[in-house]
Amino acid sequence: MIYNIVDYGAVADGVTDNSNAFKAAISECEEKGGTVYVPSGEYVTGPIHLVSHLTLYLEAGSVILFTDAFSRYPPVRTRWSGYDCYAFSPLLFGENLTNVTVKGEGVLDGQGESWWKVANDLKRGCSYHDETTHRLRALNHALLPDLKTNVLEWESQFLRPPLLQFYECKNITLEGVTVRHSPFWNTHLVYCENVTIRGLTFENPADTPNGDGCDIDSCRYVRVSDCQFDVGDDCLCLKSGIDETGRRIGRPTEYVTVTNCTMARGHGGVVMGSENSGGIQHVTISNCVFNGTDRGIRLKTNRARGGYIRHILATNIMMNDVFCPVAINMFYKYGIDEHDELLQKEEAIPITEKTPVIEHIHLSHITVDRARAAAAFIYGLPEKPVADVRISHVHIRMTDDEEEKGGEPDMVKESVRMAGDGIVAKYVNGLHLHDVSVTTRQGPAFKVNHGTNVTLNDLTMPSIHEGTPVIVSQGENELYVGGNQASMLRDSYYEADHPIHDVKSQRNREPLL
C-alpha cells in the first residue's frame, strides 16, 4: 500500500505545517504496513515519529523541512554524546521498531541554523531557557548520581537533537536521500542491529557545532556504502557510550563494514571513539577517498574511558590534503577531569577498569598526498601501550609548502605541534611497518619513543634531507630494521640512543647500530 501525504492534506508550499498529514499517513501505515510517499515539493513539519514495517519514500525534488520551533520537540529518552538521558526529540525518530526504510532522491533538512546560534551563544557564556529545557533539567536531575557527569548539569539543558535517529531498532535501511543542516549530529543509530546505509549524502556547513555526519553508537551488523560526506565535524564516527555509564551498559559497536565512500572536509574521515567505553571491534574500512579531512583514520580514547578499540582493518584508501592521515591517540584530552592529576600523568599509573585498550589494528594499501601535520601519530599509554599495529604498503607524501604551519596531529593532553613531519610513535608494543614510504617536509620518516617489538621492514624516505636520518629512536626501544634503503645508507639511516637490530636477527638480537 502507498500512502501519499498529499491525500492527507499536505501542502508543498514551504510554509504550511504538514505535521498532521504525516501523522495521519503514518498512522494508517502502522495498521496495514506500506509506503508513506512524499512527492516533489517543500513540506514543513514538526517531528516525525516512524512505525514498524514502514517505508518513507522521498521523490526526487521533495524536501522535508523540519521546523526550528524548539518547543515542538518534547523530551525523549535517548543517548546524548555518550550518556543515556533525556534530550530534545530527534526530528525524524524511530524507537523499538523493526523493518523500517527511509529512501528516495529527496532531502531531509533540519534547518539547524537557529539551534546552532543558541549553541554558539552558550559557548560564549550567554544563557538560554525555555519550557523544554526546564523539563529536561527536571527529568535529568534524577539521573545525575548514576551518570557522574557535568554534561547534564548544564544550566540550559540545551541538548540539541540529531536530524535522524533510530533507537533500539532492527532491520533498518537508509538509501539515497540527502540529510542536511542538522541541529546536532546528523544521523545517529543507537542500540540498533542489522542496518544498511547506502548512497546517502550527509551535509552540514563546516562551522556546524558538533555537526557529525553519521554516528553508529552501540550497534551490530552495520553496512555503510557508497555515501558522500561533507560535514562540520567527524564524517563517520563509531561510538559505544562514555566512561562508567558506557562500561556498565556494555554494548559494543561491532561487525561494521564501510566501503566506497567519499569524505570531503570534516574533522575525521572514519573515527572511532572517544566514546568507546562499551567497546568497538571487528570493523572493516575499504575503497574510500578522504579529501581535505583533518584526520583520515582516527582512533581516540583516554584514561577515563575504559573499553576497547580492536580488530580494525582499513585497506585501499586514498587521501588528499588531510591534516594527519592516521591518528591513534590514547591521551585524548577532552572529556577528562582536568583536576585529576593521576589521569594527567605521563608516567605509568595502575591499570583499572578505566584503562582503555587499543590493539590489533591493520592498515594497508593507503596512498596519501599533501598531508600537512604528521604522516601518522600513534600515542599509547605508558601502562597500556597501543598493541599490534601493522601498517603495510602505505605511501605518504607530506606537504612541501614552506608556509604550512601545521598544528596538533591529534588532541593530546599537552600540545604537540608538527608541520610536514613523518610517523611519530610513543608507547607502542608490536608496531610493524612493511613497504612504507614517507616523504617529509622536515625531519625523519619515523620517530619512536618507548617502543617494544617495533619492526621496520622496507621503510623508505625517497627524498632524504641532508643531515636528517630516516629513523630516530629516542630512549630505550626494542627496534628491528631491514630493507634495501637501510642496507644502502647504513649509518646515515639511523639516529638511536640504544642499539637497533636487524630484522633477520630478531631471535638472537644482533645489533646493527
The per-residue DSSP string of 467-481 comes to T--SEEEESS--EEE
Residues 6+ apart with CB under 8 A from 125: none
How far apart are the C-alpha atoms of 159 and 88, rounded to whole Å? 6
**Residue in 212, 230, 233, 234 annotated catalytic:** 233
Note if 233 is an active site residue. yes
How far are the Cα atoms of 77, 181, 339 from residue 66, in angstroms, in the given order? 20, 10, 41
How far apart are the C-alpha atoms of 309 and 276, rounded to whole Å? 7
Note if 267 is an active site residue. yes
How far are the Cα atoms of 253, 303, 388, 424, 476 from residue 380, in angstroms, in the given order? 22, 10, 12, 11, 16
How far apart are the C-alpha atoms of 87 and 245, rounded to whole Å? 17
Query: Torsions phi, psi of 37, nearest 5?
Result: -105, 130
For residue 469, give the amino acid letter. Answer: P
**Residue in 181, 212, 230, 267 annotated catalytic:** 267
How far apart are the C-alpha atoms of 419 and 443, rounded to whole Å? 10
Q: How far is CA 475 from the centre of its chain?
A: 33
Question: Following CA atoms 390, 396, 402, 407 in sequence, which dihedral angle do they give, to the nearest 10 degrees?
Answer: -40
Q: Are 296 and 290 in contact (CB under 8 A)?
A: yes
How far apart are the C-alpha atoms of 468 and 492, rounded to whole Å? 8
For residue 511, give the amino acid letter. Answer: P
The CB-side HSE value for 509 (13 A sphere, CA atoms) comes to 7
Q: Which residues are known to be catalytic?
A: 233, 267
